Amino acid sequence: MMMGLIEYPMKSNKPLHTFALILLLAITIANTASAQSLSQSFSPINTQLKETNCQPQIVGKHLQLFYRDRNDLPNIGQPKVTHSCDASVEVHSDEQYHMLGCLSEGFTNYFAIDRWSVAKIKGDGGVDVTGAPNSILVEGANIAQSKVPANGLLQFNIAIPAEGFITFDWRNIGGSNLFGIQTNTDAPVWEEANNNFFSMPLSAGDQLVIYLPADQDTPSESLNHYISNFQFLTNSMGVVVRQWEATDEEGNEDHFTQYISIEKTSLAQLFFPAATQTNKKPEQATPKLTGFPVLDLDGNLGTTSDQYLLEEKDDVFDLTWTDELIQNKDGFFLQRTWAVEDWCSGSTLQKTQIIRLEESLQQLPAHQLDNATGLNLHLPQQRDYSNSSYIDRALSAPSF
């Protein structure tokens, strides 16, 4: 028997497919509209909806600025601001200046106690807000386990504002106390006895964490009770702390804390004016004519882009000079003694500059020098001017 293949005519599903596509499109449009109201976007991928958060992002860098260039502050350090959904973003900033270096010993200025964030680690089964265990491995000779004290530990945290080092002394005042120190994500180092801490080199933005027994009434009493001689050793004289905030139209925010350290210089980078001569009268031979000391950052006087005149007292140096009229067989000279004091270290650097004056003064007697020089400076009467060797060789007339 032969069996034939019978074909049945199929009904068309075109109206049903069209209705389903319209329904899916309507659902997609509704979801997209709802997502936009929540600052979110949805992209259909393989008939599934993928959610993407819409947020502003703000990224910046920590900077260093030479203290004589602080007028440039408004023009530097602008962060990069983006938005994951290309929405418009408003940027605001607030800044504060804090002294550093020799003026910030102890818990003052940037390191004032109220600028540290504080959390408590509870021992003996209590809640540990930092994730540290109740039993801590103390790094020492016996590698012993040490329990968190019954009163717990206080965790003090602060960001390092500039390149430098932290140093302080632990003070174990009675009993067996547990101290800890941590930088960034490194494991804490624990101490149980009096000791000095001196950090590795730290950079702006690094995190410093100190753990202390929580047996004092207030966090400030704990810091002052267990820590002494706290210092931040740095070449920065201060830091500008900028708090940046980026906000989009939906109120979503991102933040960035920027540190701009204000760098000082040292006496080693100071150069005094060389010996010179002038045909001007002594009262006109001012430093504007004969030269001021120069701060040279690279130590090469042949390059001038990094040079700054030290014309008066500034935020780092105190500048003074005195003039004395001297004479030898070659004529009259102005002996200018410069003195520069570093207010931070207290060190003082002195240098003598010899300025050769017009030859006509050589013919004047001593009692007429006041009117001729205009400086009201007398020749020392105890010197014998007939002998040209009375002037020390270091101060004798330079060769021109």
- Given a cut of 80, whether residue 317 has pLDDT beyond it is yes
pLDDT, position 281: 78
Cα torsion for 179, 183, 187, 189, to the nearest 10°?
-30
Tell me: the pLDDT tens digits for 72-115? Answer: 999 999 999 999 999 999 999 999 999 998 867 899 999 999 99
Burial class (CB in 10 A: 0-12, 13-18, 19+), 346: exposed
- In the chain, where are the structural domains located? 101-233, 267-395
Tell me: the pLDDT tens digits for 126-171? Answer: 444 444 445 554 444 344 445 566 678 899 999 999 999 999 998 8
**What are the residues whose beta carbons fall under 8 Å from the beta carbon of 343, sequence distance 6 or more?**
316, 317, 318
Q: Is the pTM here over 0.75, yes or no?
A: no
E strand or H helix at 223: helix 219-226
Cross-strand pairs, 307: 296
- Given a cut of 70, whether residue 11 has pLDDT beyond it is no
For residue 124 the two structure tokens come to 């003996």
Residue-averaged pLDDT of the chain: 76
The pair phi, psi for residue 283, each rounded to 5°, is -70, -15
pLDDT, position 134: 52
- The whole-angstrom separation of Cα 380 and Cα 243 is 61
- Given a cut of 80, whether residue 117 has pLDDT beyond it is yes
CA distances from 378 to 283, 334, 366, 367 (A): 14, 12, 8, 8
Burial profile 214-226: b = 16 or more Cβ within 10 angstroms, e = fewer: bbbeebeebbbeb
Output the CA angle 139-142-146, nearest 5 degrees: 60
pLDDT, position 150: 66
Tell me: the pLDDT tens digits for 208-244? Answer: 999 988 888 898 998 988 899 999 999 899 999 999 9
SS3 278: coil
Question: Do the Cβ atoms of 158 and 116 come closer than 8 Å?
Answer: yes
Most confident stretch, 17-31, 111-125, 304-318, 321-335: 304-318
Q: Are strands 56-59 and 80-83 parallel, antiparallel or unpaired?
A: antiparallel
Question: Do the Cβ atoms of 178 and 192 come closer than 8 Å?
Answer: yes
pLDDT, position 361: 56
- The whole-angstrom separation of Cα 234 and Cα 57 is 32
- Cα 339 from chain centroid (whole Å): 29
In order, the DSSP letters of 353-382 are: EEEEPPGGGGGS-GGGHHHHHSS--PPPTT
CA distances from 371 to 278, 322, 354 (A): 18, 19, 21
- Spell out the alpha helix ranges (H) of 87-151: none
For residue 20 the two structure tokens come to 């389903």
Cross-strand pairs, 95: 242
For the chain, the residue count is 400
Better pLDDT: 123 or 137: 123
For residue 195 the two structure tokens come to 């000791």
Q: What is the mean pLDDT of residues 162-185?
A: 82
